[in-house]
Structure 1
Amino acid sequence: MNSLALATEFEEELIRMRRYFHAHPEVSWEEWNTQKKIIEILEQEGIRTLTPYKTAVIAFVSGTKATDNGDKKKKILGIRADIDALPLQEKNSCSYISKNDGVMHACGHDAHTAILLATAILANRHKEEFSLDFHFVFQPAEEFIADSGAGYLKDLPAVKECDRMIGLHVFTAFAPGIASLPVGPVMASADTFSVEIRGKGTHAAHPEHGIDPISVGVSFCQALERVKARELSSVRPSVISVTAFEAPSNFNIIPESALLKGTCRASDPAQREEYPHILERLAEGIALETRAEIKVSYFPGPPVTINDEEAVLTGQKALKHVFPKDKIQTLPFITGGEDFAKYENPKAFLVLGVGKEEEALRSPQHSPYFQIEESVLKYGVAYFLEYANCYQAE
């Protein structure tokens, strides 16, 4: 079968589906209309579906191609897409702009959903070409770091029985049609933390009568900068970012408390394990120095996304049948997080460039101006189909 030709023939419908989901985004764990639409499209094609947990959908296609494997169990290939959007007001002016106020598909999950739907439809229409079974996993709540969807779906029987789990993520930072599928770490762990600082409020004219939590918070931020510069590896990507500093007060009042929020990212699971200890150590030292009370709370999110070698080697064979040679590259490690990492099956996660050809026109993920090069979407569909073709031949 010519996977790219099939995907190209289906391109108009693929883009239409993507634009529907872009115009009707829903945030994590509230993807009810998205779920309904996914089921509607699949059932029109006679594809069996299951709603195993909240807004999730799993669809099933069974290949009918005969094999000479005797009594060997049919392979089961899981393919996953995330379906949730972000709490963000879209500022684009396209005809399919978000109709839901304050919600936007600004990370490409609308594209992921459409690509997986197209793959399911084409696999079903050409099931005689496949000797394996497909489990198509439409996963909610990838963006909800503290309680994401993969943490629940990974333990479902229909997921656990998959011999492989594959997926992809579109990125506007990379040129259109670039494909990267390395062995090993590909995306970072994504944990969050808060630092509650309790000082002693006082009149701003007499700071000596209080304990200034703002000054304490600044010291904590400066200490983190030293850690990043002198303790974290200079060759393995890692990030500690303070993303919020809250200390509501007035012009003449030193407040009683302050709150820091942030995120820790790592490419190395061992480094990830060190982060909570680093934050606690800093808190203890600064509390002793400043007399403030400091409480650190650490919230584990998705672990490091690590591509398994055997699963990747199949994918790399598939890439050669779909992408031009110059488009297959090894891209830099991505410090964004991805809860695909929570799936315990042998897995391979493709990074797919969907940025505009002219770099100046590219908008980053999570931007209110986020847009993708839609002509690339068919390559995602073709890759999934070709992966199945290569996997069943092994």
Structure 2
Amino acid sequence: MAVDFYQKLPEAIKAYEPEAVSLRRALHKIPETGFNERETQAFIMDYLEKLGYTPEKVCDTGVVLFIPSLNGLDETIAIRTDMDGLGVVEETGVDFASEHEGMMHACGHDGHMSMVLLVARYLKEHPEARVRNTLLVFQPAEEGPGGAGPIVESGVLEKYKAKAIFGYHLFPFVEEGLISTTPGPMMAMTSEFYIDILGKSGHAADPDQGIDAIVATADYISGLQKIVSRTVSPNDSALLSIGTINGGTRMNIIADKVILSGTVRSFSEDVQKAMKQRMVDMARGIEQMYHCRIEIRFVDMYPPVINSEVLFDQIWPLCGEADEKKLFKKVMLAEDFAMYRKAIPGVFMGLGSGSEEKGYTQNLHTHGFNFDEKVLLRGLQVYMNILTKAGEYTL
């Protein structure tokens, strides 16, 4: 596949390889955190303006560009990319490594932006491809606190009458050059939780005089680990993971406080609600058993990414992989592309970047994540297929 996908690309797409490399590497050098993407925004605005477009700033550090149809077909297809980087120290060893200390494009957003910039250039240089209105959305803060919601709330989708939206994520666990997506649930809903277990301090030699928050926590954690297996239907998928635990001050003092944090994920808002309620119910039981107090705070992040089945049926043959075994296997990763799906129909797609032969096996959000820019051409090809060859998107 690693060779085949490139060899099968149209020559008109292959011609953009030098630009794909140049764009990705320039953007890779300037990662910025969510809603701080000033340099990235300036790069995008400058690039689009030099192509003769008039991009607009949105949500402080975002960018949108409306490209009208030249064929009179008054329907708008939106394409979204995320912009932000991560607080990860880069260890790729590449000569285009991050120039921002402690920051890295470790989630492929440099590649995502490059593909959408290539769409803009392709449409400028191939006006015959402008069969529909196109809205390019450069969204800040996907990694947090979430820029998709503010983009939707800005009204830009309504302003340009966007009828459907598409987007990519590079995935190293998908074979290089493969487009992989699925109808229905694709990525998970996620909620963070922060829990304080409050007891009473005392000397370890007099445990009966205190309320041991650590012992109460141990029982509580044991119960939490049973929620998925005994509360969620085997037909549904869900997880509850505890990421941090902090408590105690000395080895001979009864701990009066333990702090937990973690995540709850599923593909259903009803399942998510049921799991959170079960966590609260268990906390009330632990309080009675140990005479402690438990405070729980939930922070709901992103809803599940659920692809439009109607749109999927239209664009799947355009991906060149209309084979059931290539369908994306839903993952517990979260993505704020889900916010667009609450507003309009859409399909999120995985673009494979994994290659053992080339050593591109590092996972997302790791110090060594990297990929071959040729995969961006595959993404460009499918974007152009969607913009020029798909049906009328009559929903």
Calculate the TM-score normalised by the size of structure 2: 0.91
Counterpart-to-counterpart distance in 2, 1:41 and 1:203 = 66
Q: What does residue 197 of structure 1 align with?
A: 197
- AA matched with 1:20: A
Conserved 8 A contact 1:243-1:262: yes
Q: Deviations over 1:337-390 (max 9, x none)?
A: 010001111101111111123497511111111112322111111111110112
- AA matched with 1:157: G
Q: What does residue 70 of structure 1 align with?
A: none
Q: What does residue 6 of structure 1 align with?
A: 12
What stretches of structure 2 of length at least 5 have no aligned partner? Answer: 1-7
| Deviating more after overlay: 31-40 vs 248-257 | 248-257
Q: Deviations over 1:175-212 (max 9, x none)?
A: 11222221100111111111111111122333322112
Conserved 8 A contact 1:179-1:328: no
Q: What does residue 335 of structure 2 align with?
A: 338
- AA matched with 2:278: I
Q: Tell me the SS of whatever aligns to 2:115.
A: helix
What stretches of structure 1 of length at least 5 have no aligned partner? Answer: 68-73
> Structure 1 residues 64 and 312 mapped into 2: Cα distance closer, same or farther (>3 Å)?
same
Q: Tell me the SS of whatever aligns to 1:26.
A: coil
Structure 2 counterparts to residues 33-48 of structure 1, below 5 A: 33-48=39-54
Q: What does residue 386 of structure 1 align with?
A: 385
- AA matched with 1:43: E
Q: What does residue 71 of structure 1 align with?
A: none
Counterpart-to-counterpart distance in 2, 1:228 and 1:125 = 53
Q: Deviations over 1:142-161 (max 9, x none)?
A: 111xx310111012332232
Q: What does residue 304 of structure 1 align with?
A: 304
- AA matched with 2:290: T
Conserved 8 A contact 1:4-1:379: no
Counterpart-to-counterpart distance in 1, 2:344 and 2:315 = 15
> Structure 1 residues 55 and 328 mapped into 2: Cα distance closer, same or farther (>3 Å)?
farther
Q: What does residue 4 of structure 2 align with?
A: none
Q: What is the alpha-carbon root mean square deviation over aligned residues?
A: 2.0
Q: What does residue 318 of structure 2 align with?
A: 318
Counterpart-to-counterpart distance in 1, 2:44 and 2:217 = 47
Q: Deviations over 1:112-136 (max 9, x none)?
A: 1111111111122223332211110
Q: What does residue 109 of structure 1 align with?
A: 109
Q: What does residue 286 of structure 1 align with?
A: 286
Conserved 8 A contact 1:163-1:346: yes
Q: What does residue 30 of structure 1 align with?
A: 36
Q: Deviations over 1:72-105 (max 9, x none)?
A: xx01010000111111111221111212111111
Counterpart-to-counterpart distance in 2, 1:166 and 1:114 = 15
Calculate the TM-score normalised by the size of structure 1: 0.92
- AA matched with 2:182: P
Q: Tell me the SS of whatever aligns to 1:280.
A: helix
Counterpart-to-counterpart distance in 1, 2:227 and 2:88 = 32
Counterpart-to-counterpart distance in 1, 2:387 and 2:359 = 36
* TM-aligned CA deviation for residue 319 of structure 1: 0.9
* TM-aligned CA deviation for residue 57 of structure 1: 0.4
Conserved 8 A contact 2:227-2:275: no
Counterpart-to-counterpart distance in 2, 1:116 and 1:387 = 13
| Deviating more after overlay: 220-229 vs 333-342 | 220-229
Select which of 326, 344, 367 maps to 1:329: 326
Counterpart-to-counterpart distance in 2, 1:350 and 1:356 = 18
| Deviating more after overlay: 122-131 vs 341-350 | 122-131
Say if 2:21 is the partner of 1:15.
yes
- AA matched with 2:362: S
Conserved 8 A contact 1:164-1:346: yes
* TM-aligned CA deviation for residue 229 of structure 1: 2.3
Conserved 8 A contact 1:166-1:348: yes
| Deviating more after overlay: 170-179 vs 199-208 | 199-208
* TM-aligned CA deviation for residue 66 of structure 1: 4.9
Q: What does residue 171 of structure 2 align with?
A: 171
How many aligned positions are there?
A: 382
Q: Tell me the SS of whatever aligns to 2:45.
A: helix
Counterpart-to-counterpart distance in 2, 1:11 and 1:327 = 30
Q: Tell me the SS of whatever aligns to 2:333.
A: strand
Structure 2 counterparts to residues 81-120 of structure 1, below 5 A: 81-120=81-120
Structure 2 counterparts to residues 240-279 of structure 1, below 5 A: 240-247=240-247, 249-279=249-279
> Structure 1 residues 361 and 155 mapped into 2: Cα distance closer, same or farther (>3 Å)?
closer
Counterpart-to-counterpart distance in 2, 1:183 and 1:8 = 29
Say if 2:149 is the partner of 1:151.
yes
Q: What does residue 65 of structure 2 align with?
A: 59
Say if 2:362 is the partner of 1:363.
yes
Q: Tell me the SS of whatever aligns to 2:350.
A: strand
| Deviating more after overlay: 197-206 vs 356-365 | 356-365
Counterpart-to-counterpart distance in 2, 1:314 and 1:244 = 44
- AA matched with 1:330: L
* TM-aligned CA deviation for residue 11 of structure 1: 1.3
Conserved 8 A contact 2:228-2:275: no
Counterpart-to-counterpart distance in 1, 2:318 and 2:246 = 49
Q: Deviations over 1:235-276 (max 9, x none)?
A: 322111111112252333333211111111102232122122
- AA matched with 1:223: G
Q: What does residue 79 of structure 1 align with?
A: 79
Counterpart-to-counterpart distance in 1, 2:329 and 2:347 = 16
Counterpart-to-counterpart distance in 1, 2:297 and 2:338 = 23
- AA matched with 2:148: A
